[in-house]
Structure 1
Amino acid sequence: MRIHTLQGYIQNIFLVEEPQGLLLLDGCSRADVDKVCRFITHDMGRPLTDLKLIVVTHMHPDHAGGAHRLRRLSGATLAAHPKAAVWYAGIAGRTAHLIDVALMYWVAQRLGKTRRKAWYAPILTPDILLTDEQPLPGFTNWQVIYTPGHTDHDLSLHHLPTGELYIADLLVRVKGQLHPPYPICHPNQYRRSLLKVSQLKANTLFCAHVSPLDVQEIPFETIIANAPVLPKNHWHAAKNRIWKKIKMAG
C-alpha cells in the first residue's frame, strides 16, 4: 500500500495505490479533477479505469465537488455515508451549499489561488453506502470509521495493517495549534468522534488541511476539553447576530 499526496485547490488529496487498483480517499473539489486524472495517467502511467473507488467523507466542496465527474471519467465506484446524499437537500440545504462554495472561494483567495471552476451538484448519488466499522468494498484492509460532528455524516478511513488513518476535516491548524474545524454542527458528536479516534490503534493521522500527524503528539484531551459545546455554523452565527441586534435595539 502506498499513499500519494497531491496538493489540491484548498486541501490535500490522498490517492492510495494497492495491488487491486487505486482508491481516492476523498472526492476532492471540482477544480482538482484534471490534476487527479493527469497524476494517474501521466505521473503513474496508468489508465483512469485503474481508479476503482472514490470515498466522499462529507459533502463540503473540497471533499465532494469532484466525485461525480471523476466517477464519470474513470468508471470508479462512489461510496459515502447514507446521510451524505441529503445534506444539501431542501431550501435550507441549497442555501448552505451556496455559502459553502463561497467559503471555498474565500479560502482559495487567502491561499493566493486564482478563481477556478468549482461548482458541483449539491445532491450526491453514491453507488455504495458505508457504515461504521465496515471494510471498504474492494479494499478490505481499510475500515470505515463514522466520525460525525463537523457534519452529521463525516467518515474517517483506517488502514488497519499500518495504522494510518485519514480523518478529513476532524482537525485543522490555526496559528500553529490544532483546533476543531468550522463548522461544528454537532458538538457532542464531535467530541465523541475525537475520543474514538484517540482510542484507535492508529499511528499517523492524515488530514485534509494539516500535514500528517503523529498520534502520540496530539493533545486530544485538551482539544476535547476546549471544543465547542454549542453548534458553530452559518445558521447559529446568523441567529446570534440577529439576536444581538434585537437586544441592542431594545
Structure 2
Amino acid sequence: MQIHFIEGYIQQIYLVEYPDRLLLLDGCTRADVDVVCDYIRNQLSRSLADLKLIVVTHMHPDHAGGAHILRMRTGAKIAAAKIDGHWYSGIDGILMHWSDIILALWVAGRKNKARKNLWYDRKLQADYYLCDKAYLPEFPQWQVLHTPGHTDRDLSLYNQTTQQLYVADLFVKVRGQFIPPYPVFYPNRYRHSLQRIQQIKPAYIILAHQGEIPFGEIDFARLEQLAPTEPVTHWRSVKAKTKKALGLSKPLKIK
C-alpha cells in the first residue's frame, strides 16, 4: 500500500494505491476532480476504473464536493457515515450550504488560488452508509471511526497495519499550533472524539489541511483546553458580530 499526497484546491488529497485498486480517503472539491483523474492516468499510469471507493468524511465542499462527479467518471462507489437525514436539510441547510461554498472560496483566495466552480449537490447519495467500527468495503485494512463534533457525521479512517489515522478536519494547524476546526457544532461530541483518538494512539495522524504528523507531536491537552464549550457555528458568529456592530446591551437569544 502507498498513500499518494496530492495538493488539492484548498486541502490535501489522499489517494491510496494497492496493486489492484485505488481508494480516495475523501471526496475533494469539485475543482479537484480533474486533478485526481489526471493523477491516476498520468502519474500512476492506471485506469480510472481502478478507483473503487471514495469516502466522504463529512459534507463540506472540500470533502464531498467532487464525490458525485468522480463516481460518474470512474464507476467508484461512495461511502459515508450512517447518520439519519442530510446535513444540509431544510432552509437552514440551504443557507449553510451556500455559506460553506463561499467560505471555501474565501480560503482559496487566501491561498492565491483562482476562483473556480465549487457547486455540488447538498444531498449526498452514497452507496454505502457505514456504522462506527465498520471496515471499508473492498478495503478491510481501513476501519471507520465516527468522530463527530465538527459536524454530526464526521468520519476518521484508521489503517491498523500501518497505524495511520486520517482524521479529516478533527483539528487544524494554524501558525504552527493545532486548534479545533471551524465550525464546531457539537462541543461535547468533539471532546469525546479527541479522547477517542488519544486512546487509539496511532503512530501517525493525517490531517486534511496539513499532511501526516507523528502522533507524539500533537498536544491533545491544549486542544481540549481550546475546544469550545458551546457551539461555534455560522449563525452564532453572524449574530455575535451583529450584536457588536449594533452595540446591543442585551444578549441576543441564540437557539
TM class, shorter-length: over 0.9
For residues 174-198 of structure 1, give each alpha carbon's deviation from its aligned partner in whole angstroms, at most 9, with x where no partner exists. Answer: 2210000000110111111011011
SS where residue 98 of structure 2 aligns? helix
The answer as to whether partners of 2:54 and 2:77 remain within 8 angstroms in 1 is: yes
TM-score by length of 1: 0.96
CA–CA separation in structure 2 for the residues paired with 1:29 and 1:83: 22
Are the counterparts in 1 of residues 14 and 25 from structure 2 also a CA contact under 8 Å? yes
Q: Which AA in structure 2 matches 1:124?
A: L
SS of alignment partner, residue 78 of structure 1: strand
Extract structure 1 runs of 4+ deviating beyond 2 A. 82-85, 238-250
Match of 1:83 in 2: 83
1:44 aligns with 2:44: yes
Structure 2 unaligned spans of 5+: none
Matches within 5 A, 1:87-236: 87-236=87-236
Superposition CA RMSD, Å: 1.5
- Deviation string, structure 1 residues 72-126 (Cα, Å, up to 9, x no partner): 0000010001338600111100100000000000000000000012111111000
* CA distance in structure 2 between the aligned counterparts of 1:6 and 1:144, rounded to whole angstroms: 22
Gaps of 5+ in 1: none
Greater mean deviation of Cα atoms: 77-86 or 146-155: 77-86
Question: 2:201 touches 2:215 (CA, 8 Å); kept in 1?
Answer: no
**CA contact under 8 A between 1:142 and 1:159: conserved in structure 2?**
yes
* Distance in 1, Cα, partners of 2:66 & 2:102: 16
Cα separation, 1, equivalents of 2:86 and 2:188: 21
Q: Residue in 1 aligned with 2:248?
A: 247
Taking structure 2 as the reference length, what is the TM-score of the superposition? 0.94
**Alpha-carbon distance in structure 1 between the residues aligned to 2:175 and 2:108:** 18
> In the aligned structure 1, how far is the partner of 2:125 from the partner of 2:82?
10
* Secondary structure in 2 matching 1:46: coil
1:237 aligns to what SS in structure 2? Answer: helix
Q: How much has 1:246 moved relative to structure 2?
A: 6.9
